[in-house]
Amino acid sequence: MAGRLSIAIVLLAVLLGYVYNVFLQRFIQVSGIFREPGSTELAPGEFVVVNGTIGCEDLHLHEPSGLLFTACEDDVASRRKWFPPIEHFANPSTERMKGKLEVIDPKTFEAKVLELEGFSGPFVTHGIDVIDDPDRPQGEAVYIFAVNHKPNPEHYGENGDAKAPKSHSVVELFHHAIGSSTARHVRTIWHPLIVTPNDIFAESPTSFFVTNDYYYTEGLLRTIETVFSMAGWTNVVHVRLENPGSAEDGDGDSAGVHASIALEKLHNLNGLGHGGGGQGEILVTSCSSGLLHVGEVVGEADTGKKVIRVKEVIEFASPVDNPSYFRDPYANGTFDASGIVSSGPTRGIDFLESKGKEFVLDPNMVWKATPKSGKKEKEGDGERDGTVAGGGKNWDVSLLFEDDGRRLRTSSASVLVAIDPNEEGGRRRAWLFLTGYQASNVIAVKVDL
Ligand SMILES: *[C@@H]1O[C@H](CO)[C@@H](O)[C@H](O)[C@H]1NC(C)=O
Ligand SMILES: *[C@@H]1O[C@H](CO)[C@@H](O)[C@H](O)[C@H]1NC(C)=O
């Protein structure tokens, strides 16, 4: 039984590969079909489990406060029962959908669950973004945007329509004063262009980008879409709110919500991150293609619409999920460890077989892309379709950490927190915080930079 699905996928890939050889080479590399899981050795005390952080898909460092923010689940079984992003629709019962927002102190490795004010769920968490409240001194308060995959009452309700989408996926906006134990629900945001939301990049409390990670939500076409990197069927949507509004307004999820396509015709657009090249630099991954697009936000002055212009593409050797930018606070003239961190499965090929299992090892690889010193080459538009090998001529990609699945099940986000070299006898080291949508906990491991 086991293996039948991946054999089918391989046959499919080989067939497509005859048509397009570059695709086949990349498929072999990124899917990990011939790759044995590895496991980075760690000294005692260099591996910490952050308790009370179940199935957190995304993780963000809020630099002004030095705190990590994440959105988690209530139970390790949740993602198997209901999680539309991986085609799990078995149990749409909303009572148990009790996702959480949590704050992790990277110094104590303790996680605090934020009490949600004015919000009672259901809450099925996925990507988040955290930005400073522009009306308060920096670091005092934040807005948290969080994807929420609620079951669609039009599908599951009394006179449910089987043709209606199973998930009514929305974005929740919260406000949190740093140090407090609560997050106040500001409003729910929905627009017909938000279909399969995965991750968020917020510019301000009233402007954000959200990826739709798939065109097909289920079935064979969805599998083809996952495997076939030429299936450039996904997009990033730019959303503008007339005002952040208030949950009490009671005028619906789509009140004052305007949306337009910001980036499209790319494969499996998934994770979003803020880049290192200033305010408007945006990182967008094509997850199962193992590509990261470095883009810039370009505004149209007359309409207020914003689009993403891809500047270059970085190739990774595995699928890559949510990217994060590490800004090295201890950089000096000769050593700067700043770069982009992103992680994904060692054997993406096993994804479909493993995701529904209670006990399985899902090995992971964490990559770091650092700008090549000196030369900076301009790259052509040919890389936009993600098929040209050699994308990312300006970046060195190296393996930062790997796990065979025993310490972490799945890895969807990874964030570096630098350690003061004085505490490490002058060595440049960092805590790497890792999390996965099917992980039982966030973990932290000490790595060399
Ligand atoms: C998490 O819980 C385990 C088991 O109770 C404990 O050994 C460990 O110290 C805890 N981690 C932290 C960061 O407190
Ligand atoms: C910069 O940092 C590196 C790594 O800690 C160190 O080896 C080097 O001496 C530092 N350079 C300067 C100019 O301080």
Q: Determine the atom of ligand 1 nearest the C-alpha atom of 109.
A: 13
Q: Looking at the DSSP assignment, which residues form a beta bridge with residue 345?
A: 364
Separation of alpha carbons 17 and 228, rounded Å: 10
- Ligand 1 pocket, 360 CB below 6 A? no
Please tell me the predicted confidence (pLDDT) of residue 198. Answer: 98
Q: Pairing mode, if any, of strands 182-189 and 197-204? A: unpaired
Answer whether residue 449 is part of any domain.
yes
Cα(327) to centroid(ligand 2), Å: 16
Answer whether residue 193 is part of any domain.
no
Answer whether residue 130 is part of any domain.
no
Cα(426) to centroid(ligand 2), Å: 9
- Ligand 1 pocket, 107 CB below 6 A? no
Answer whether residue 427 is part of any domain.
yes
Answer whether residue 335 is part of any domain.
yes
Separation of alpha carbons 403 and 361, rounded Å: 10
Evaluate the CA torsion angle 358, 365, 61, 126 in order and state its sign.
negative
Ligand nearest to the CA of 336: 2
Q: Which two tokens stand for residue 112?
A: 């605090």
- What residues contact 174, with CB distance under 8 A and at least 6 apart? 101, 114, 116, 119, 143, 144, 145, 146, 183, 184, 185, 186
- Ligand 1 pocket, 440 CB below 6 A? no
- Ligand 1 pocket, 42 CB below 6 A? no
Answer whether residue 422 is part of any domain.
yes
Report mean pLDDT in 10-residue bins for the chain, 449 residues: 70 70 88 96 96 98 98 96 97 95 98 97 97 97 98 92 96 98 97 98 97 96 93 97 65 91 98 92 97 95 89 97 98 95 97 94 97 57 38 84 97 98 97 98 98
Cα(423) to centroid(ligand 2), Å: 15
Mutating to test ligand 1, I would choose from 48, 51, 54, 102 the residue with most ligand atoms within 8 A of its C-beta, which is 51
Ligand nearest to the CA of 426: 2
Residue owning tokens 């259901």: 122
Separation of alpha carbons 240 and 257, rounded Å: 6
Ligand nearest to the CA of 47: 1
What is the four-CA torsion angle of 14, 20, 26, 30, rounded to 10 degrees? -40
Cα(335) to centroid(ligand 2), Å: 6
- Ligand 1 pocket, 51 CB below 6 A? yes
- Ligand 1 pocket, 181 CB below 6 A? no
Range of the domain at 434: 32-54+322-449
- Ligand 1 pocket, 49 CB below 6 A? yes
For ligand 2, atom 5, name the residue with the nearest CA.
428
- Ligand 1 pocket, 47 CB below 6 A? no
Separation of alpha carbons 33 and 144, rounded Å: 38
Closest-CA residue to 274 (of 178, 340, 331):
340
Please tell me the predicted confidence (pLDDT) of residue 384. Answer: 39
DSSP percent split of the chain into helix, strand, coil, nearest 5: 15, 40, 45
Answer whether residue 308 is part of any domain.
no
What is the tally of structural domains in the chain? 1
Q: Determine the atom of ligand 2 nearest the C-alpha atom of 427.
A: 5
Cα(332) to centroid(ligand 2), Å: 6
CA–centroid distance for 377 within its chain: 28
Number of other residues whose CB lies within 10 A of the CB of residue 26 = 21
Answer whether residue 9 is part of any domain.
no
Q: Determine the atom of ligand 1 nearest the C-alpha atom of 49.
A: 11
Evaluate the CA torsion angle 83, 317, 231, 59 in order and state its sign.
positive
- Ligand 2 pocket, 335 CB below 6 A? yes
- Ligand 2 pocket, 108 CB below 6 A? no
- Ligand 2 pocket, 330 CB below 6 A? no
Q: Which two tokens stand for residue 425?
A: 């006898």
